[in-house]
Amino acid sequence: MDKHRTLEVKRDVMAANDAAADAFRAEERAKGEFFIDVMASPGAGKTTLLLALIEELRSRDADKVGVIEADLESDVDAMKIKEAGVDSVELNTRGVCHVEMGMVKSARSAFGDAVFDWMFLENIGNLVCPADFDTGAHCRIMLLSVPEGWDKVMKYPPMFAAVEALVVTKSDYLSLNPDFDMNRLHEQARILNPHLKVFVTSARTGDGIAEFAEWIRARRNEEMAIR
Ligand SMILES: Nc1nc2c(ncn2[C@@H]2O[C@H](COP(=O)(O)OP(=O)(O)O)[C@@H](O)[C@H]2O)c(=O)[nH]1
Ligand SMILES: [Mg+2]
């Protein structure tokens, strides 16, 4: 087996994905659509946080929101989003542990001609593979829930290094999980990613959601000013 050749194939695939991602990012920006990739492990609270964030965004502006719900199988999350009155498209990867550009483009085209102010991708529940794949988003964020433990920053460093913001979710569990060391999480995350924004939220109590929404609104304005 020629290992050198295998490496080159992988590099070509990644380069093609990166080029398609850059083109998609530019098209989305030109349409005025801000595209956010939301990554985390299964059960970290992605769908619940998205619903809370969208409610907060819509409470101030009559913005149009679309959500691409990626999952290995099933449309459970896409249905939850639809039930909340938000347009969504289910993207089943059929066992693939990450989302890449071909999938994003076909999911986006399933919305037809509709144009949104905000487009969210709920990525596959996985703290490993999605970090490597550019999905054409203007902004990549990750969630880490309190029950998962602060030390995931030590175990999955590429994900913490790949994102602009870390949203700690389920802060209502902090009193039940005293070994969740917020200071060490901050410290280690900032070593990996010095400009990382960190938010501490609970979709259950609403804590931290307004602050996070404020930041993401500012990021959208910043991105759209590039047009
Ligand atoms: N206590 C608490 N539970 C939450 C919070 N956010 C989500 N959950 C629960 O965590 C579980 C997984 O949430 P979900 O949004 O489906 O996670 P996902 O798999 O990352 O999309 C569900 O039972 C949610 O109700 C939170 O802020 N606090
Ligand atoms: Mg979900």
pLDDT tens digit sequence for 9-21: 667 778 999 999 9
Residue 126 CA to ligand 2 center (angstroms) comes to: 11
Report the SS3 class of residue 175. Answer: helix
pLDDT for position 87? 96
Question: Other C-beta atoms within 10 Å of 154: how many?
Answer: 13
**Model pLDDT, residue 104:** 97
* Closest atom of ligand 1 to CA, residue 42: 19
- CATH class, range 3-224: alpha beta
Mean local confidence (pLDDT), 68-90: 92
| Averaged confidence pLDDT in the chain | 94
Percent of the chain with pLDDT strictly greater than 90: 86
pLDDT category at 166 given cuts 50, 70, 90 is: very high
- Testing ligand 1's pocket by substitution, the residue of 37, 38, 47, 48 carrying the most ligand atoms inside 8 A of its CB is 48
Q: Closest Cα to residue 213, out of 148, 141, 147, 121?
A: 141
Report which bound ligand comes closest to the CA of 126. Answer: 1
Per-residue pLDDT tens digits for 19-78: 999 999 999 999 999 999 999 999 999 999 999 999 999 998 888 999 999 988 888 898
pLDDT score recorded for residue 62: 83
Half-sphere exposure of 206 (CA within 13 A, CB side): 3
* Tokens read off for 152: 């995931």
> 39 CA distance to ligand 2 centroid (A)?
10
Residue 167 has a pLDDT of 98
The per-residue pLDDT for range 195-223, each reduced to its tens digit, is 999 999 999 999 999 999 999 999 999 99
- Tell me, in angstroms, the distance from the centre of ligand 2 to residue 169's CA: 13
Confidence (pLDDT) at 226: 83
Ligand 1, closest atom to CA 202?
27
Check residue 207 and give its pLDDT: 98
Q: What is the pLDDT confidence band of residue 184, given thresholds at 50, 70 and 90?
A: very high
pLDDT in the model for residue 15: 92
Extended beta strands in 57-175, E state: 65-71, 87-92, 118-125, 139-145, 165-169
Parse the chain into domains and list their residue ranges: 3-224
Q: Which residue carries 């995931």 as its tokens?
A: 152
Are 89 and 107 spatial neighbours (Cβ–Cβ below 8 Å)?
yes
